[in-house]
Structure 1
Amino acid sequence: MKPKIVSWNVRGLNEYNKRSRIKNLLREWRADIVCLQETKLKLVTRKIVRSVWHCPYVDWVYLASNGASGGILVMWDKKVVMKIEEFIGEYMVAVSLKMVEDNFLWAFAGIYRLNDDNIRHHLWEELAGVHSWWDLPWCIGGDFNIIRFPSERSGDSRLQPAMTEFSDCIFDLNLVDLPLIGGPFTWSNSQTWSRLDRFLISPEGECQYPEVSQRRLPRICSDHFPILLDGGGIQSRRRYFKFENMWLKSEGFVERVRQWWSSYQFNGTPYILAGKLKALKEDLKLWNSQSFGDLGEQKKNMMEELQVLERINEGRSLTTKERSRKAELTSELERVLSLEEISWRQKSRALWLKEGDRSTKFFHRVANSHRRNNTIEILNINGRECNEAPVIREHVLNFFRTAIYKKRGLEAKSGWTGI
């Protein structure tokens, strides 16, 4: 198994409704390890953990907040990774882990640091100390509250000493700073954009998971974007039919099923019941799609549109119409998340949700380490953002074909013969 890790500055976990929305998103992203920063919680109990992550085999360790600020919570699925040791510092939570499937040993550290350049060096010292403590491949993720280069902040052109110190720390610890897919920034107050959040990994970890990549996820209920570290790989499982309790709340549902059942005509005594049940299943699936729709698909489309607006806002201010649409999308997305949470509460009490019965389908692989910098996820074609690989490939080919033809035409006119 190739692990998936989500890191997110959530800006507080005190509200139940906010934890519920986060829980729904984490279920969608199907992470094996979750690191939440700025929890603003002095105490993290099992009740809080279960309200923020659906995983039934969860284990966790946390750093308490300092008053109403800070706090880190690291959670993991015990069916995927097993904790060996833990370290709770002033600015981080670190755990040494073993993969259950292949016994691969590694360490993870969740980082959160207040934006204060005067004492930032304490974080680098603590990080260097715990890094030398365990001689293991490392994965370090979180909100560092500092950028590495001026290009990682909108409107900034100065290389500051704090940036150089951050880069020096990465170099000294022999860590790899992976490119970020999905957008250049991870935080915004709608005026300034910065990349404050990231994952850093050891070269040994990259060798173990050569297709590893980090991706920016849609932003909701925080001014930070979540980021996902995906080890790569796909596992899928066929979805089987399940009766939804919410169908019973639909007016006329029982009468509709009665009419369907009466209309089925099958021959052969031993197979009549099986045939009717199969036909009823297909009618129910079609009716569910038409009446309730695909909440997952709705959520996916809204998240994609929200990300497009975020990318536009990185380059310019949104128009009144775009701001209105963004607010509408955010509100609608929260409604869909709430509906999904209600559905999942029903499913958690159903008999078909058995031990080990959880989807392990992974996102499609992005690119391995050798192709990562050359991967084009999104391309602006004639003023429209496109993320369809065949269309991007054809556009790039046509661009270079046109460039070659133009060059050959100029060479022919000048009489120059190139190689």
Structure 2
Amino acid sequence: MLGLIETKKEVVTTFDVVQLWGADAVKWEYIGSAGASGGLLLMWDETVFQLNNCYKGSRWLCVEGVLLRNNFPCAFCLVYGPHERRAKLATWEELSFLFGMCQVPVCYLGDFNEITQVEDRKGADSLTVTAAEFKSWIQDMELVDLTIIDRLFTWFRGQSCSRIDRVLVSLEWLDMFPETRLRGGPRGLSDHCPLILKVYQLRGGPRPFRSLDSWFTHTGFLKMVKEEWRALGDRQFMEKLKALTSPLSSWHKKNFGDVDKRITQIEDEIKKVDDITSPGVDDGTVEARRKALVSCCKKWYIRQELHWKQMSRSCHAKEIDKNTRYFHTLASSRRRSNRIDALMVNGRLVRNQARIKIAIRDFYKDLYHQEPSPNIGFRDGLVKRIIEEDARELELMPTPTEIKEAV
């Protein structure tokens, strides 16, 4: 699928499309420009995507059909956002209506002429009203704004830089293609960078040691860690962390496994108590049980919310209700954006994962190695000797209080 914005052509012919695509097996839809202003063009390989419907607006072009390789119904919508606030609101409303009309996973892509965070515009220190409205629209639509993995900005003019080109996909899209990645292409003569959307193969690797914020809400967590840590004896620090992973995993499954199921069970118990008291039976024991169940349910809500806020690492976390598919998708999106697909090594771009791992290891090995230093001897009498009491104090093991103060 290839989308072009600002074609500046009132009419697009077969000859134009074949020249751009480079082959005859191509289908296309377009919206003509108004003179030399605007114009949208979507092209696709007819052996890959089968068109069912096409919808057109003044600022967007949508093709709805099926990806033949995996029989996946979906829609691609090419967007060229206006500059004025009123026109932007109208365009977003049209895209919302389109989403409900298609009833399939949607991929919005193009120039939205708007940012969603301060870092998207060079020199900006706050979001405009329109940017805040655009951000709210993305959240209300439960769309995921894919992170560009290799650049900060997509539009350049003089000293101005912004990320106004983006790809927004629905949750169902990421369910089917969890390894969807977005990167920028060479800008060339244009003031915009092309966006390249691709599905990568999942690459495995060693997982780093992590702790969950929700664990610290359990009264027995720190006690368990202390006991397990002491039982590991005098091993090296990294070996202890690796060895601690197994008991932590068992403890997590025992105390935090199936959080959703636990919450559902407690909610069912609360409903049973409510059913008992609903006819007007006034029983202090029943009310006390209800309060205890509500308190327990609140505790598990907090643990669940802490977990997904930590996993998502999203600035939207405070604005979203507890445990939604949106949280899960943000957490997956963060893992995708953190992976390294390419690395510049000695002036060359390396994509081989084995070579990338070796380069990273060698970099930190060189960074943290011990500098060679000459052995310097001191003649007798050059350095004053300390008394025996001070020498013994230097050999004493530091106390936990001293370590805590130093850290």
TM-score by length of 1: 0.53
1:394 aligns with one of 356, 361, 364 = 361
Partner of 2:34: 66
Structure 2 distance, partners of 1:395, 1:159, is: 41
Residue type of the partner of 1:394?
R
1:146 has 2:110 as partner = no
Aligned to 2:337: 373
Q: Distance in 2 between matches of 1:74 and 1:227?
A: 14
Partner of 2:165: 197
**What's the counterpart of residue 416 of structure 1?**
403
Counterpart among 51, 54, 67 of residue 83 in structure 1: 51
Question: Residues 2-35 of structure 1, C-alpha deviation per residue, up to 9 Å, x if partnerless?
Answer: xxxxxxxxxxxxxxxxxxxxxxxxxxxxxxx000
Counterpart of 1:186?
A: 154
1:44 alignment partner AA: V
1:45 aligns to 2:13 (yes or no): yes
CA contact (8 A) 2:143 2:168 kept: yes
Which residue matches 2:89?
A: 121
Larger radius of gyration: 2
Deviations 1:170-197 (A, max 9, x none): 1111111111011011010131111111
Size of the aligned set, in residue pairs, is 246
Whichever residue aligns with residue 373 of structure 1, its letter is S
Is 2:80–2:112's contact at 8 Å kept on the other side of the alignment? yes
CA shift, 1:396, in A, is 6.8
> Counterpart of 2:100 in 1: which secondary structure?
helix
Q: Which residue of 2 aligns with 1:173?
A: 141
Alignment check: 8 A CA contact 1:84 1:96 kept: yes
Which structure 2 segments of 5+ residues have no match?
203-331, 371-396
Aligned-partner residue type, residue 207 of structure 1: D
Alignment of 1:3-402 (within 5 A): 33-233=1-201, 369=333, 371-376=335-340, 389-390=356-357, 392-394=359-361, 397-398=364-365
Aligned identity (percent) is: 33
Q: SS where residue 97 of structure 1 aligns?
A: strand
Secondary structure of the 2:24 match is coil
TM-superposed deviation, 1:373:
3.0
Instruction: Give the 3-state SS of the residue equivalent to 1:183 in structure 2.
Output: coil
CA 1:190 to 1:398, structure 2 compared with 1: closer, same or farther past 3 Å? farther
Sort the Cα spacing of 1:114 and 1:370 in 2 relative to 1 into closer, same or farther, 3 A.
closer
For residue 143 of structure 1, what is the amino acid of its counterpart? D
Distance 2:340 2:398 in 1: 33
Q: Which amino acid aligns with 2:129?
A: P
Cα distance, 1:231 vs structure 2: 1.9
Preserved CA contact (<8 Å) 1:182 1:377: no
Give the whole-Å Cα distance in 2 for the aligned partners of 1:402 and 1:79.
55
Corresponding residue SS for 2:11 = coil
Structure 2 residue identity aligned to 1:372: R
1:100 Cα deviation from its structure 2 partner:
1.3
Identify which range, 98-107 or 386-395, moves more after superposition: 386-395
TM-score of the aligned structures, taking structure 2 as reference length: 0.55
> Which runs of structure 1 show a deviation greater than 3 angstroms over 4 or more consecutive aligned residues?
376-382, 384-388, 395-403, 411-415
Bigger relative contact order, structure 1 or 2 (CA pairs below 8 A, ≥6 apart) = 1
Distance 1:374 1:128, change over 3 A: same
Q: CA RMSD in A?
A: 3.1
State how far apart, in whole Å, the 2-side matches of 1:185 and 1:148 are.
Answer: 12
Task: Assess if the C-alpha contact under 8 Å between 1:378 and 1:385 holds in 2.
Answer: no
Structure 1 gap ranges (5+):
1-32, 235-367, 404-410
Q: 1:116: Cα distance to partner?
A: 2.2
Q: Are the counterparts in 1 of residues 111 and 166 from structure 2 also a CA contact under 8 Å? A: yes
* Aligned AA (1:390): K
Q: Deviations over 1:49-82 (max 9, x none)?
A: 1121113210011111122111100010001110
Letter in 2 for 1:144: F
